C-alpha cells in the first residue's frame, strides 16, 4: 500500500493594514472616526451645561472661551467633520431599514438618503434661526 | 487574430504549494480584442503561455459564480470584466482576498460552504401540504420581499470585500446572512426560529459593522448589507423581550 501525502498547503495572507487596501475602506474608517469628534463635541456642550449650573459668571466664562481663536478654528474643523458625518450617516441609513414599497416598487436608497439629508439641513436651519 | 488586436500586460499572483514558499507575481503579455474578458485573458495564458496556471471558471456569463478574483485589488467576476477597460495600463489579478490560497487563483472555500449549509438555505415549509392540496401560493408583493436576496450566485465577492470576515473568520459573512434573510422573508417558509439562534449572535447579524462594500461589489444586486442590517432592529427587540416574555416572543 502506498502512503498518500497531502500536498495541500493553503497560504493565508495577512490582513494587517487592511483599511489601506481600498479607498472604500478609507472612507469607512473616516466615517467611523468622525464619531470621535461627535462625542468630543457632546462633552464640550456638557461642560457648558455644568458651567450654567454653577451660575452666570461661570457660564459667561465658558461662552468667552468658545469665542477664542483656537476655539473658532476647532469649530470650523468640527463643522466640516460633522457635515461628512451627516452625509455618511444617511448614506448608510437605507441599508439599515426594511425595504419600503411604494405602489409595488422598492423605494430607491437614494430617495431615503436625500430625504434624510434634506430634513437634517432644514432642522439645522430652523435651530439656527431660533438661536440667532 | 484580427487587426484590432492589442496587447496587455497581465500580472497574475502565482502560488504552487509544492514548490513555492509564498505567492509571487508573474507577468504575461496577452494579445486581446475589445470583446475579451479577463477570464478569456487567463484562458489564453493557460492555453498558449503557461499551462500550469490554475483558476476556477465555468459558465462565462456571470451565473455560476466560479471566477471571482481580485482585479486590480477589487473583487470582480473575471467573466464580466473586460480587458479593454484596463488597457493600455497593465492589470493585476489575484485570488479572492480573505480566503486561504489553495493554488494560484484558486482559494479554499470549505469555510464558506460550511457556513452556507449551517443556515439551512432551503424552504422549510410552514405547513405540510399534500400533492392533492396543490402548490404553495404567493402574491407578487410577498415575492418582492425576498426576490432580490434570492439572486445570490455564491461567488463570494462579498466575502472578499468584507473586512470583518477577514479579521474574524467566525463571522458568518454577507452572502450567507443575506441568504438566511432570503429564506426567513419567504412567506412559504417556517424555518426562521431554527436559523435565528445564529442570526442573533455575534457571528450573525451583529458581526457586521456596516462597511457596506459587500453590496458595492455584488454582481447580482443582492445588497447583503441591507439584508443583514435590517435584521438588527428585530434582533434587538428579541433580546430585550426575553426579560418580559418567554424567549422567541419577538420573532
* Domain A19-131 -> CATH class: mainly alpha
List, for residues B19-72, the tens digit of each pLDDT value: 999 999 999 999 999 999 999 999 999 999 999 999 999 999 999 999 999 999
The dihedral through the CA atoms of B61, B26, B158, B115 has a sign that is positive
Asked if B230 and A97 come within 8 Å (Cβ–Cβ), the reply is yes
Min distance B23 CA to chain A CA atoms (Å): 8
Of A7, A11, A25, the CB nearest to B101: A11
pLDDT of B251: 47
CB contact under 8 A, A11 and B229: no
Contact in structure between B228 and B205 (CB atoms under 8 Å):
yes
Which three cell numbers mark B39?
Answer: 477570464
CB–CB contact A24 B101 (8 Å): no
> Topology of B6-107 in CATH?
Ubiquitin-like (UB roll) (3.10.20)
Q: What b/e string do you get for B115-149 counting C-beta neighbours within 10 Å, with b at 16 or more?
A: bbeebbbeeeeeeeeeeeeeeeeeeeeeeebbebb
Q: What is the ipTM of this complex?
A: 0.89
Beta pairing partners, A11: B101
User: Do residue B166 and residue A18 have CB atoms under 8 angstroms apart?
Assistant: yes
The predicted-structure confidence for B104-129, as pLDDT tens digits, reads as follows: 999 999 999 999 999 999 999 998 88
Q: Which residue of B has its CA nearest to A103?
A: B141
Per the CB < 8 Å rule, is A11 touching B22? yes
CA dist B174 and B193 (Å) reads: 20
Task: Quote the pTM value.
Answer: 0.91
For the domain bounded by B110-241, which CATH number is listed?
A: 1.10.1060.10
Q: Sign of torsion, CA B206 B211 B214 B216?
A: positive
pLDDT in tens, B217-228: 999 999 999 999
Question: Residue B237 has what pLDDT?
Answer: 87
Domain boundaries, chain A: 19-131
Percentages of chain B per state (helix, strand, coil), in multiples of 5? 40, 15, 45
Hey, what's the cell of B101?
A: 490560497
CA angle A78, A80, A81 (to 5 degrees): 60
Q: Taking 60 as the threshold, does the pLDDT of residue A31 lie above it?
A: yes
Per DSSP, helices labelled H in chain B are: 38-44, 110-118, 140-147, 157-161, 163-167, 174-184, 192-199, 213-217, 224-229, 232-241
- Which letter, b or e, does each residue of B176-193 get, where b requires 16 or more Cβ atoms within 10 Å of its Cβ? bbbbbbbbbbbebbbbbe
Q: Where are the domains of chain B?
A: 6-107, 110-241
What residues of chain A lie within 8 A of the CB of B215, using their CB?
95
pLDDT at B128: 87
| B95 → chain A, closest CA residue | A13
Q: Given an 8 Å threshold on Cβ–Cβ distance, is A104 in contact with B100?
A: no
Indicate whether B2 pLDDT > 70.
no
Amino acid at each position: 500500500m502506498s502512503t498518500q501525502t497531502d500536498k495541500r498547503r493553503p497560504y493565508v495572507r495577512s490582513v494587517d493594514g487592511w483599511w489601506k487596501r481600498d479607498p472604500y475602506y478609507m472612507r469607512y474608517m473616516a466615517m467611523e472616526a468622525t464619531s470621535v469628534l461627535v462625542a468630543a463635541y457632546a462633552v464640550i456642550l456638557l461642560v457648558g451645561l455644568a458651567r450654567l449650573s454653577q451660575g452666570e459668571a461661570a457660564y459667561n466664562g465658558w461662552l468667552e472661551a468658545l469665542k477664542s481663536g483656537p476655539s473658532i478654528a476647532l469649530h470650523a474643523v468640527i463643522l466640516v467633520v460633522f457635515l461628512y458625518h451627516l452625509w455618511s450617516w444617511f448614506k448608510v441609513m437605507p441599508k439599515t431599514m426594511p425595504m419600503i414599497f411604494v405602489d409595488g416598487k422598492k423605494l430607491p436608497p437614494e430617495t431615503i438618503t436625500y430625504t434624510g439629508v434634506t430634513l437634517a439641513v432644514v432642522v439645522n436651519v430652523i435651530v439656527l434661526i431660533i438661536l440667532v | 487574430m484580427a487587426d484590432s488586436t492589442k496587447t496587455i500586460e497581465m500580472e497574475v499572483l502565482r502560488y504552487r504549494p509544492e514548490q513555492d514558499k509564498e505567492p509571487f507575481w508573474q507577468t504575461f503579455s496577452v494579445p486581446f480584442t475589445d470583446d475579451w474578458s479577463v477570464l478569456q485573458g487567463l484562458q489564453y495564458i493557460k492555453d498558449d503561455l503557461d499551462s500550469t496556471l490554475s483558476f476556477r471558471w465555468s459558465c462565462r456569463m456571470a451565473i455560476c459564480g466560479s471566477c471571482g478574483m481580485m482585479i486590480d485589488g477589487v473583487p470582480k467576476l473575471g467573466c464580466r470584466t473586460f480587458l479593454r477597460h484596463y488597457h493600455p495600463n497593465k492589470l493585476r489579478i489575484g485570488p479572492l482576498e480573505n480566503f486561504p490560497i489553495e493554488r494560484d487563483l484558486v482559494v479554499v472555500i470549505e469555510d464558506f460552504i460550511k457556513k452556507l449549509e449551517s443556515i439551512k438555505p432551503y424552504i422549510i415549509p410552514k405547513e405540510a401540504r399534500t400533492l392533492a392540496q396543490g402548490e404553495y401560493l404567493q402574491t407578487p408583493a410577498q415575492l418582492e420581499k425576498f426576490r432580490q436576496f434570492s439572486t445570490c450566485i455564491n461567488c463570494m465577492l462579498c466575502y472578499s470585500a468584507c473586512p470583518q470576515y477577514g479579521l474574524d473568520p467566525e463571522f458568518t459573512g454577507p452572502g450567507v446572512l443575506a441568504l438566511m434573510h432570503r429564506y426567513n422573508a419567504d412567506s412559504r417558509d417556517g424555518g426562521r426560529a431554527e436559523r435565528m439562534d445564529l442570526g442573533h449572535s455575534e457571528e450573525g447579524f451583529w458581526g457586521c459593522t456596516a462597511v457596506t462594500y459587500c453590496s458595492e461589489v455584488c454582481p447580482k444586486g443582492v445588497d447583503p448589507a441591507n439584508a443583514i442590517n435590517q435584521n438588527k432592529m428585530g434582533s434587538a427587540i428579541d433580546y430585550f423581550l426575553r426579560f418580559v416574555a418567554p424567549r422567541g416572543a419577538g420573532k
